[in-house]
Amino acid sequence: MSDLLRRLTEARGVSGNEDEVRQLIIEEVTPLADEVRVDRMGSVIAYKKGTRSNKKVMLCAHMDEVGFIITRIDDNGMLKFATVGSIDPRILPSKRVRIGDKAIPGVLGIKAIHLQEPAERERAVKVSQMYIDIGAKNKEEAEKLVKPGDYAVFDSECVYFGDNKVKSKALDDRVGCLTLIEALKSSYPFDLYACFTVQEEVGLRGAKVAGYSIQPDMALVVEGTTCSDVPGVDPHKHSTRMGEGPAISIADLASYSNKKLVSFLIQCAKNANIPFQIKESISGGNDAGEIQRAAGGIMTAVVSVPCRYIHSPSSVADLDDINNTIKLVQEFLKGCEAI
Amino acid sequence: MRELIKKLTSIYGPAGNEELISQAIREEIEPYVDEIEVDVMGNLIAHKKGNGKGKRIMLAAHMDQIGFMITHIDDKGFLRFSNLGGISVPYSINRRVMFKSGLAGVIGYETEIDSWKDITLSKMYIDIGASSKEEAEKLVKIGDVAVYHPLFSESNGKYISGAMDDRAGCALLVQTIKNIESTPHDLYFVFTVQEELGLRGARTAAYALEPDIGIAVDVTATGDTPKCRPMAVALGKGPAIKIKDASVLAHPLVKDLMISTAEKHNIPYQLEILEYGGTDSGAIHLSRGGVPSGVLSIPCRYVHSDSETIDASDMENGVKLLTKILEENIDFNDIGLS
């Protein structure tokens, strides 16, 4: 698992530019599925035919990650950029990125503190104040390496550290992709559609068309979600807590989980002695929002791995939480047909 | 009508938790319709058959109400919550709430805050009288939802209660179902779910039903109180025919059908332009290839508080107008706009 998670998180796949991670996922799922297709939006749909029933179950994890897009090259060879997906600009200065198909290295730069006006120092840093430095002498040199419209992605290696923890970019939602790949290793009575969606971070777009085209009987979304169990945060704002198991969502801003699926997930966890937690916030949203409202409506639920420092190059997750999420999804799949 | 409104506003049913109100409405209408079902999202869909010569019409009123979802239980037994739909801080301070079990609570806030302006929902809590986490957990769990404690009053021809939005609309549809003597149209009365979270139930129901026309019935704001935000809608001047809100521009055919029917039968009405907000027609009119849609609105003061106030005569006239619209033939050519 640890090697596959490393490859998944290190693969580049900013929303709208998921080529590299898509290729990796296709290679991983092709031996496991009966049919693998890429839909018109670019999502990978791995289909595994059921052994006896015609019920359709959809698993969904998004393969895209937050990142950047180059908007302009200045005369001095510095690149201006915009964020793709939601990123707190305050975490950006001095972070490393890779740009374009050739993975050109760059650094996110900002004017030094002693050169900032007093008012600038007081305010949170904005994306417009920053640039990407690729070491180019001038615009002409920079243009040989990059062009406006190129995507940039956090340059961050996956590191296993501490007490069973992993640090990497894109744990949101490569942990979900990993869970789906693991699920494809078993056979099920029903037809399984494992969907690795595109463009979740820019508005649940891949899931919208995937949900519509598959119209499953039920869908389980596997996510990486916020975890704020850190110093200075009141317990009621933690959302999830690291190491306490997969987080089951009752509702968030995009979907209200189907109650039968939620009870079944809880029952699965209890029966198999898998630790779990109920997510203690309803902020944010994920692919379940679009899937639930596809066509005439679809039963959905969400299981998430808690991830600290999400949407940064150094998100952190607990390996037991990841393993227990994989287990919980497998337990769910064993019995969900009866729901 | 008074008893129906009182009954429907008293029943628990926040967004995503519409089981009890759905059951109550079902019991009211079942004898008057041909078929009734609950879809995957939880929408209650009642079908009243036509003679095959009319339109396929979807009527929508949402069953859900705004609420408070419990997100955390602290060591002392106080409950933290998030808003489910458009809950506002000032309308909630020290208000009483009710859980599905009937359990009551009071909304408090961290009083060390200097100014009322600094109060946010994350600095508020619900006090259910528990003295420890263990005690609280026996009564409530994470994900449970509370609603404003229902209390119905009548004052000078006005009805006052929480959840008028949109149980008043549900009551209007229920009464219309009971009143309709015969109709050429295939009528689908949909009591929708999760409107307060983004018109979710209406979206999937409209997709499934593929109606020719959509009409939502919901409350709307008024401009008839001291120094209020200007708006040309007042209590007691009749049901409001929507021109627009932030979710929909009423289709001219549907809007004009409503106006011409009101005029033909001398039913008072007013025209409504709501500069914010939206309702189920916002989702219905964009379903599949598009559905001509309009909205019949019930003027309502203090929307999204526990004292939403409507006028009894607006309800009576609303039922009269909707009944006439649904009983008569609809030929868009007749109103000169096809």
A291-302: pLDDT as tens digits: 999 999 999 999
Q: Chain B residues with CB inside 8 Å of A280's CB?
A: 71-72, 142
Mean pLDDT of A314-336: 97
Q: Chain B residues with CB inside 8 Å of A283's CB?
A: 82
Q: What is the mean pLDDT of chain A?
A: 96
Q: What is the pLDDT of residue A23?
A: 98
- The alpha-carbon gap from A236 to the nearest alpha carbon of chain B, in Å, equals 5
Question: Which residues of chain B are under the pLDDT cut of 50?
Answer: 335-338
Q: Do B207 and A295 touch (CB under 8 A)?
A: yes
Please write the tens of the pLDDT for every residue from A16-56. 999 999 999 999 999 999 999 999 999 999 999 999 888 99
What domains can you pick out in chain A, each with its CATH number? 2-65+169-338 (3.40.630.10), 67-154 (2.40.30.40)
- The alpha-carbon gap from B137 to the nearest alpha carbon of chain A, in Å, equals 14
- Annotated catalytic residues of B are 195
Secondary structure, 3-state, chain A:
CHHHHHHHHHCCCECCECHHHHHHHHHHHCCCCCEEEECCCCCEEEEECCCCCCCEEEEEEECCECEEEEEEECCCCCEEEEEECCCCHHHCCCCEEEECCCCEEEEEECCCHHHCCHHHHHCCCCHHHCEEECCCCCHHHHHCCCCCCCEEEECCCCEEECCCEEEECCHHHHHHHHHHHHHCCCCCCCEEEEEEECCCCCCCHHHHHHHHHHCCCEEEEEEEEECCCCCCCCHHHCCCCCCCCCEECCECCCCECCHHHHHHHHHHHHHCCCCCEECCCCCCCCCHHHHHCCCCCCEEEEEEEEEECCCCCCEEEEHHHHHHHHHHHHHHHHHHHHC
- Whether B39 and chain A come into contact, CB under 8 Å, resolves to yes
Closest partner CB to B71 (pick from A262, A282, A293) = A282
Closest partner CB to A281 (pick from B43, B71, B200) = B71
What CA–CA distance (Å, rounded) separates B144 from B67? 10
Q: What is the pLDDT of residue B333?
A: 61
ipTM for this model: 0.90
Please write the tens of the pLDDT for every residue from A235-250. 999 999 999 999 999 9
Domain-by-domain residue ranges, chain B?
A: 2-65+162-335, 67-148
- Annotated catalytic residues of A are 200
Q: Chain A residues with CB inside 8 Å of B143's CB?
A: 250-251, 262, 278
Q: What is the pLDDT of residue A121?
A: 87
DSSP code, position B223: S
B80 to chain A: nearest residue by CA? A236
Closest partner CB to A293 (pick from B72, B84, B204) = B204
- The alpha-carbon gap from B111 to the nearest alpha carbon of chain A, in Å, equals 16
What CA–CA distance (Å, rounded) separates B203 from B320? 27
Q: Which residue has the tokens 């109060």?
A: B119
Mean pLDDT of A323-329: 98
Q: Chain A residues with CB inside 8 Å of B122's CB?
A: 236-237
Q: Do B40 and A236 touch (CB under 8 A)?
A: no
- The alpha-carbon gap from B211 to the nearest alpha carbon of chain A, in Å, equals 13
pTM of the model: 0.94
Q: What is the pLDDT of residue B336?
A: 46
Q: Chain B residues with CB inside 8 Å of A281's CB?
A: 71, 82
Q: How confident is the model at residue A113 (pLDDT cuts 50, 70, 90)?
A: confident
What CA–CA distance (Å, rounded) separates A68 from A81? 6
Q: What is the pLDDT of residue B331?
A: 83
- Whether B80 and chain A come into contact, CB under 8 Å, resolves to yes
DSSP code, position B212: S
Please write the tens of the pLDDT for every residue from A149-193. 999 999 999 999 999 999 999 999 999 999 999 999 999 999 999
Q: Do A251 and B194 touch (CB under 8 A)?
A: no
Residue of B19, B41, B190, B284 to mutate when probing chain A, most A C-beta within 10 A: B41
CATH architecture of B67-148: Beta Barrel (2.40)
- The alpha-carbon gap from A33 to the nearest alpha carbon of chain B, in Å, equals 29
What percent helix, strand, coil does chain B show, rounded to 5?
30, 25, 40
Residue of A215, A217, A228, A236 to mutate when probing chain B, most B C-beta within 10 A: A236
- For domain B2-65+162-335, give its CATH number from 3.40.50.300, 3.40.630.10, 2.60.40.10, 3.30.980.10: 3.40.630.10
What CA–CA distance (Å, rounded) separates A326 from A320? 10
Q: What is the pLDDT of residue B217?
A: 98
Chain A residues with CB under 8 Å of a chain B CB are 235-238, 250-251, 256, 258, 262, 278, 280-283, 292-299
Cβ count within 10 A of residue B114: 6
Measured in degrees and rounded to the nearest 5, phi and psi for residue B175 equal -65, -35
